[in-house]
C-alpha cells in the first residue's frame, strides 16, 4: 500500500483556497470526505487481488487546487476502480474460452456514482460492485490469510473469475464447476442439492458457458456428433451392422442416432438446455466412473450422477418421482418442461470454499490458470 494518499490529499484540500469555489452546475462535486473514501478504496484494492490504480493525475490536480480538474480526475478514477471490481482487471486474452455472458457490462456506473456522491454513500457504491456470491467472500477471506505464494496466486485467479460471472446468478440456478466435478442446484439463494459429474477429457474439455434449462427428456435418443461418428460409430455401423443394431445405432436420413435403452450413451435422462456447443447434462450407463476422484472422461458433455434424482429435483411440482419412473419404464421418449426455466452456469474454479471457513485448491485439469497473468504474484 502506498503511504500518504489520504493524509496528503486532505492536507492539500484543506490548504488550497480555490477549493471553496462552487463546481460547474450539474457536475458531481467531490468533497473532502468523498476523496478520502476514494483513497481508502484505492489503497484497499489489493485486498481483492486487484491492482492499486495510479492517482498521479488526481494528485497533480489536488496540488494545483484545480476544483474542476479534481472532480474530473476523481470521477474517472472512481469509475475505473468500480469497473475492475465489477468486471475484473484481466485483458481479453486472459479470458479466452470464458463464454458466460455477463450482463453487468451493461450497467451504467456513471449515474450510480453521481447518486452516491449526492447521497454521500460512496462506500456503498464501491461495495456493491464486488461479486455477491458467498464463494467470493470465502476466497477473499482466505486470500487475506494465505501465506503460501502459489496458493495465494490461485485464489487470486479464481477471485478474478468470479468477477467475470454475473453479480447476481438469480435466486434459482445450477452451477457446474468442471474443475470440482460437481453440480449444485440453488433455490432461493440456498443450496438445494449437489451431484457428482463427469466432464470432458483434456483433449475434449467441457467449455465454459451459460444456458437455460428448459426441461428434461426422459428415454432420450442420442444424436451422435460428427466427431464421434468419425472416431468410432461410423466405422462400427459399416463394418459390423449387426453389432451396431444390437447397441441401438441407427443411420437414417444422413444422420447417426442411438435408440433409447440401457446402452444409450445419454442414459435415461438428458436436459433441454440449448447452447452453441451441443454440450448437455445427462445420465450415463457407465456409472462406475462416478467413484473415480478425477472424473474427466467425456467428449465435453456433463454426465450426472443420480440423474433421475436430479431430474426429479428440477421437476419438483411438475412430476413426482413415481411419475418419472413410470415414464422411464414405458420406454417412450418424453419431454417434460420445468415449471420455470432456470439458468445453468458451466464454469471452472480451481479454488473453492471447503465449507469450514477455508479454501480448497483443486487440480487445474485443463491448465487454464496460467492464462490469467494479471494477478498478484504472491505476498
Catalogue the active-site residues: 282, 301
Closest CA to 223 of 200, 255, 260, 254: 255
Number of Cβ within a 10 Å radius of residue 249: 21
| Cα separation values, 334 from 181, 185, 285, 327, Å | 28, 23, 19, 7
In this structure, what C-alpha cell is assigned to residue 80? 475505473
What's the 3-state SS for the chain? CCCCHHHHHHHHHHHCHHHHCCCCCCCCCCCHHHHHHHHHHHHHHHHHCCCCCCCHHHHHHHHHCCHHHHHHHHHHHHHHHHHHHHHCCCCHHHHCCEECCCHHHHCCHHHHHHHHHHHCCHHHHHHCCCCCCHHHHHHHHHHHHCCCHHHHHHHHHHHHHHHHCCCCCCCCEEEEECCCCEEEEEECCEEEEEEEEEEECCCCCCCEEEEEEEEEEECCCEECCHHHHHHHHHHHHHHCHHHHHHCCEEEECCEEEECCCCCCCCCCEEEECCCCCCCCEECCCCHHHHHCCCCEEECCCEEECCHHHHHHHHCCCCCCHHHHHHHHHHCCCEEEEEEEEEEEEEECCCEEECCCCCEEECCCCCCCHHHCCCCCCCC
Give helix 149-164 / helix 67-87 axis angle, nearest 10°: 100
Name the residue among 225, 338, 206 with its Cα closest to residue 271: 338
Amino acid at each position: 500500500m502506498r503511504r500518504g494518499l489520504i493524509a496528503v490529499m486532505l492536507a492539500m484540500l484543506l490548504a488550497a483556497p480555490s477549493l471553496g469555489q462552487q463546481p460547474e452546475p450539474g457536475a458531481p462535486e467531490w468533497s473532502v470526505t468523498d476523496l478520502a473514501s476514494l483513497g481508502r478504496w484505492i489503497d484497499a484494492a489489493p485486498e481483492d487481488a486487484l491492482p492499486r490504480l495510479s492517482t498521479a493525475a488526481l494528485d497533480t490536480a489536488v496540488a494545483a487546487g484545480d476544483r474542476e480538474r479534481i472532480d474530473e480526475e476523481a470521477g474517472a478514477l472512481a469509475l475505473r476502480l468500480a469497473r475492475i471490481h465489477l468486471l475484473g482487471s484481466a485483458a481479453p486474452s486472459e479470458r479466452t474460452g470464458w463464454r458466460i455472458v455477463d450482463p453487468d457490462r451493461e450497467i451504467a456506473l456513471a449515474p450510480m456514482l453521481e447518486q452516491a456522491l449526492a447521497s454521500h454513500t460512496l462506500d456503498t457504491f464501491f461495495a456493491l460492485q464486488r461479486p455477491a456470491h458467498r464463494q467470493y467472500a470465502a476466497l477473499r477471506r482466505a486470500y487475506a490469510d494465505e501465506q503460501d505464494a502459489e496458493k495465494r496466486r490461485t485464489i487470486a485467479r479464481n477471485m478474478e473469475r468470479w468477477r467475470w460471472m454475473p453479480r447476481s446468478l438469480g435466486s434459482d440456478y445450477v452451477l457446474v464447476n468442471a474443475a470440482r466435478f460437481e453440480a449444485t442446484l440453488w433455490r432461493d439463494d440456498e443450496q438445494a442439492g449437489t451431484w457428482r459429474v463427469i466432464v470432458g477429457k483434456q483433449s475434449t474439455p467441457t467449455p465454459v458457458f451459460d444456458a437455460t434449462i428448459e426441461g428434461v427428456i426422459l428415454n432420450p435418443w442420442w444424436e451422435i456428433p460428427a466427431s464421434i461418428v468419425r472416431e468410432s460409430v461410423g466405422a462400427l455401423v459399416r463394418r459390423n451392422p449387426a453389432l451396431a443394431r444390437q447397441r441401438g445405432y441407427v443411420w437414417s436420413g444422413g444422420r447417426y442416432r442411438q435408440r433409447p435403452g440401457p446402452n444409450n450413451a445419454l442414459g435415461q435422462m438428458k436436459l433441454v438446455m440449448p447452447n452453441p456447443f451441443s454440450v448437455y447434462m445427462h445420465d450415463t450407463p457407465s456409472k462406475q466412473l462416478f467413484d473415480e476422484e478425477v472424473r474427466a472422461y467425456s467428449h465435453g458433455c456433463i454426465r450426472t450422477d443420480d440423474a433421475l434424482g436430479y431430474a426429479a429435483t428440477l421437476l419438483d411440482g411438475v412430476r413426482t418421482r413415481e411419475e418419472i419412473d413410470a415414464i422411464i419404464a414405458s420406454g417412450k421418449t418424453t419431454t417434460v418442461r420445468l415449471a420455470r426455466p432456470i439458468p445453468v452456469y458451466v464454469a471452472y474454479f480451481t479454488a473453492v470454499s471447503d465449507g469450514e471457513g477455508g479454501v480448497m485448491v483443486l487440480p487445474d485439469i485443463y491448465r487454464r490458470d496460467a492464462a490469467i497473468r494479471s494477478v498478484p504474484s504472491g505476498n
